[in-house]
Structure 1
């Protein structure tokens, strides 16, 4: 069989070009540690990687939101614990005030202490959270507790913080839910009626400081404070359950992130060991092909006739 000279050179050039391209590709994979650099090289893997990248970006946002929620919940729990301590102090003071042996001056001093407790609880409620928003304020931006003496409580619930696809968590509570005993929760989450804990304590303080004080003014005071403490405990337990949920979701995101990274690596990262072996094999074949081509191209008719 005769082979045209042009066909011989074309086939040899094609083979050398193919081997060189394969070697270049392997060298690029090793240098960049990536199996491909363009979608056309593996469209299926590229689409999967795009989805993984999108999910990773979303989870970074959710992780940041979980961090914010955890910070707010921790601050809320700390504040509620401090408020609970103030209520406990109020119980001791009222118990002492109910003692009929106190003189007017001591009674009024206790009244001033309780008034101070009300001021402290108001300040704790009006603190700002890590986002610079009222810790126990309303969803409309209202201050948690009015400081004009009315002790009006923010009651519109705040929006939840997104922590996952279709998932959100309310990281705080309104002052109305914390400081209202009884009452009816309306469809919008606000509370109608009930007893305002701060107003109740302020009334006790006023009664103790009055010159017309009568012991009957404290008849239900301990019961009222106990009910306020129970309501506070209920809210704090609810926040604790949300904090536990935040922890679980944080761990879940970490686990998902680890699995996603393993999947991404399997799709995109170069197996360096295999790539190096394949490159060495390709270079060997390329060298042998170049040598064969050089030797064959140097032959002439006289070489065959000898």
Structure 2
């Protein structure tokens, strides 16, 4: 075979370049500590490394989410502990207020402390986390969930949502609890609310449900009113009418005092007690109230201590309100306890998920290291061999390039 001089030179140069490229690549691997410098080095491993990088990014995000969830739930747990302490103190005040020897000054002092506890509770229910989000507003975390109205009552301005955050490939954890379910939808002991509809001279008890089936079936959703009037047949006696919200008469009857001198009126499975010096024209409203917020429970208790006297009617009003308030406070504390139990369970899930994610991260790191990290012993041996080959190529090129017919014609 005939080989031209230029072909021999090109072949020699190409061999030197290839060997030099191999030496340079090995040196780059040793410098970087990575076996794969470009996807072409190992396409299959490169794809797997890309998947592992994506998984590592997700695990890093999950770690941040776990930290955020832990902080939020831990803060909520601390807030609920404070709420429970406030409710416990309010319950103690209610028990103190039931002391028959307590005079008006003592009741006012308890009412003043109740006002402070009410404000403290209102502040706790509007607590924010480190990011400025309201804990108990549901999805509406940027505005106060509990708003105090001009008449002193409270309105829940949040929603019933529960924000969740992803902490694993298939795991979500709730990071808050909405205030409506926790603090507003508290079972009301009497299931009723009653009040004078005008400047009535008498008083009305909170009422009780005596026949649940009849109450659910017949009691109007819009409530009723009880109107007192003189008996046409005997003006010295009183009769009553039960009217619906539209003014239509639903029932009537004569007022007959019981052993205590009060008047019991029953309708649709419920009963209320009227007391005091009733007069013709007195009107009282009775409405269904299956739920009562914890703030309203404290407010109504405070109002009762502030505005009732030592008359028999006042004592009866206080007795009724104290009984209802104690039961409602117990219901509220049971609600808080239930959520605290749920918080503990969620924090346990976070702890176990953190361990799972740490193990997955360790496995990914090990696999990633096996795919891309360089075996230095093998690389150094290879570099030594490639250097010898490069030197041999260079020396052979020098010898071959010196071969020429002109050397023999001198």
The TM-score bracket by the shorter chain reads 0.7 to 0.9
Which residue of 1 is the match for residue 305 of structure 2?
208
Kindly indicate whether the alpha-carbon contact (under 8 Å) linking 2:118 and 2:298 is maintained by their aligned counterparts in 1. yes
Secondary structure of the residue aligned to 2:148 is coil
The whole-number CA distance in structure 2 between the counterparts of 1:96 and 1:111 is 11
Query: Unpaired segments of 5 or more residues in structure 2?
Result: 189-288
Residue 26 of structure 1 deviates from its aligned partner by 0.3
When you count strand as a share of all residues, which structure comes out higher?
2
Residue 175 of structure 1, CA deviation? 1.1
Partner of 2:387: 283
CA apart distance, 1:125: 1.1
Structure 1 stretches of at least 4 aligned residues deviating more than 6 Å after TM superposition: 300-304
Q: Distance in 2 between matches of 1:267 and 1:96?
A: 73
Rounded to whole Å, the distance in 1 between the matches of 2:25 and 2:159 is 64
Asked if structure 2 preserves the Cα contact closer than 8 Å seen for 1:52 and 1:264, the reply is yes
- TM-score normalized by the length of structure 2: 0.66
Q: 1:135 is matched with which residue?
A: 135
Q: Distance in 2 between matches of 1:208 and 1:182?
A: 22
Matched, 1:169 2:177: no
Aligned length: 295
Judge conservation of contact 2:138–2:163 (CA < 8 Å) in 1: no
Would you say 1:65 and 2:69 are equivalent positions? no
Distance 1:193 1:56 in 2: 51
CA contact (8 A) 1:181 1:197 kept: yes
Shift of 1:116: 1.6
Judged with a 3 Å threshold, the aligned counterparts in structure 2 of structure 1 residues 193 and 271 are, in CA distance, closer, same or farther, namely farther
Displacement of 1:117: 1.3
SS at match of 1:75: helix
Q: Secondary structure at the match of 1:230?
A: helix
What is the aligned partner in structure 2 of residue 198 from structure 1?
295
The one-character-per-residue Cα deviations of 1:25-53 (angstroms, maximum 9, x if unpaired) are 00011112222332222221221122122
C-alpha contact (below 8 Å) 2:164/2:174 kept by paired residues: yes
- In the TM superposition, residue 123 of structure 1 has moved relative to its aligned partner by 0.1
**Equivalent position of 1:189 in the other structure:** none
Q: Which residue of 2 aligns with 1:178?
A: 182
Q: 2:378 aligns with which of 257, 274, 284?
A: 274
Q: CA deviation at 1:202?
A: 1.2
Structure 1 residue 219, shift from structure 2 partner: 2.0
Counterpart-to-counterpart distance in 2, 1:32 and 1:3: 45
Return the index of the structure with the highest Cα Rg. 2
Partner of 2:39: 39
Instruction: Indicate the structure whose relative CO is greater, using CA pairs within 8 Å and at least 6 residues apart.
Output: 1
What is the CA–CA distance in structure 1 between the aligned matches of 2:128 and 2:290, rounded to whole Å? Answer: 26
Q: Which has the higher helix share?
A: 1
Distance 1:279 1:3 in 2: 35
